[in-house]
Amino acid sequence: MPITRQDVIHVANLAHLELDSAAIDTHVTRLAEILEYVAKLNEVDTAGVEPTRHASDRTNAFREDVPRPGLAPAQALSNAPEREGQQFVVPKIIG
């Protein structure tokens, strides 16, 4: 089933995107190419290939989570450009 301009417009509306006519045409072409490539992938014989969750066989590359003591408040605030008591002073961001 080919991708149509209406399909692209529908998806753009769902995503709250405003696309001009040229962008719609570009997306129709690109999405059609993507679907054509996926169709080619579906032709590959994968019989006997084990499903995988990851591309590599590494199980866990993370270090052991070992609790350590944190910084003392004075040490944590030692490089703070501005502080008030034992708190960092930061610019107001929200309303």
What domains can be seen in the chain, in order of their start residue?
5-42 (1.10.20)
Max CA separation in the chain (angstroms): 67
Mean pLDDT over residues 56-84, rounded? Answer: 87
Does residue 8 contact residue 27 with C-beta atoms inside 8 Å?
A: yes
pLDDT of residue 18: 95
Residue 52: pLDDT band with limits 50, 70, 90: confident
3-state secondary structure at position 83: strand
> For the chain, percent helix, then strand, then coil, each to nearest 5?
40, 5, 60
pLDDT of residue 95: 73
- How high does pLDDT run on average in the chain? 90
Mean pLDDT over residues 71-83, rounded? Answer: 91
